[in-house]
Amino acid sequence: MKKRQIFLFIFSSIFSLSFSYSQSENVLSDSLIDKNKIFNISKLRFGLDLSNPINSSSKNDKFSYEIVADLQLTDNFYLATEFGSIDKVIEDENIDFNSVGDYIKIGFDYNMFNNWVGMDNSIYIGLRYAFSDFSNKVLGYTVRNSDSYFSNFVNTNFENVNHNNLNGSWIEIVTGIKVETFNNIYLGISLRLNKLLSTKSPENFDNLFIPGFNKVTDDNTWGSGFNYTLTYSIPIGKKR
């Protein structure tokens, strides 16, 4: 129920925005050039996160990736989305587990940077709604015990099970930079502050990691993340 409301909020805000623009367009002018200036769908960018594959290969994990895309709606507004797949072994203080799952994030970016003529860089803030389906498999753990006569490590039987069908949804506040390094190729970095909305936890374990959201701490619904992207812009309108 919550998810739906948030989706509605995001989409309605985007659409109301574009609607208000198209209204003003009718009032202000009727020429084609001005129309392009006001409602400027001229860019569709696709890209790949570079931090995830580098991270996963350096730690001998299975391949993880994130695809990013954004569509320019007006001069400064972009519809933005990310899709990712994570397969990662997390070695926590007491518990080692393998987190496998996919996530999708959808929202918008707002560019706050005024470019010089002929440049196309951006410093932006944005908002995302994100959802993840995942599983967490416990690989081994150390039982809390004040007595250490015996080994307290457990890596077979007991709670070493795969917790399936878990999910989580959250909101991300995004801030980042995109710089056009070559013609139509952009390098970008973004930081994300995540606020967990809802999560389905397993029995006798907790969601300590959610793909896309990253680490979940005790009694805390805040998280953080970042990505480092390489994107290619497909010009679909007239380039300014």
Partner 1 sequence: MVYINILILTILNLMIKRYNVILFLVFLIFAACEKDDICIEGSDNTKRISIEFIDYINRQPKSIDLDSIRSVEVDSILEGISGTNLKLPLMVNTNKTKYLLEYNKTIDTLVIFHQTIHKYLNRSCGYIANFIIKSDTEISKNSGWIKEVSIENDSIFNEEKTNIFIHF
Q: Summarize as ranges the residues that interact with partner 1 (CB under 8 A).
A: 92-95, 112-113, 119, 121, 123, 125, 141-147, 149-154, 156-159, 173, 175, 177, 179, 181, 187, 191, 193, 204-206, 208, 215-218, 220, 222, 224
- Smallest gap, in angstroms, from Cβ of residue 213 to partner 1? 14
8 A C-beta contact, residue 46 and residue 231:
yes
CB closer to partner 1, 85 vs 136: 136
CB closer to partner 1, 64 vs 111: 111
CB closer to partner 1, 58 vs 156: 156
Mapped onto helix, strand or coil, the DSSP state of residue 20 is helix
Q: Give the other-Cβ count within 10 Å of 1's Cβ.
A: 6
Kind and range of the H or E run holding 27: helix 2-28
8 A C-beta contact, residue 140 and residue 96:
yes
Mapped onto helix, strand or coil, the DSSP state of residue 8 is helix
- Smallest gap, in angstroms, from Cβ of residue 113 to partner 1? 6
- Smallest gap, in angstroms, from Cβ of residue 160 to partner 1? 10
Cα 119 from Cα 53, distance rounded (Å):
30
Cα 223 from Cα 90, distance rounded (Å):
16
- Smallest gap, in angstroms, from Cβ of residue 142 to partner 1? 6
What does the block give as tokens for 40?
């400027």
CB closer to partner 1, 12 vs 162: 162
Cα 1 from Cα 169, distance rounded (Å):
12
Q: DSSP letter string over 214-234?
A: EE--TT--EEEEEEEEEEEEE
CB closer to partner 1, 36 vs 140: 140
CB closer to partner 1, 150 vs 165: 150
What does the block give as tokens for 1?
């129920």
- Smallest gap, in angstroms, from Cβ of residue 191 to partner 1? 5
- Smallest gap, in angstroms, from Cβ of residue 34 to partner 1? 27
**Phi-psi bin for 89: left (phi > 0), alpha (psi -120 to 50), beta?**
beta
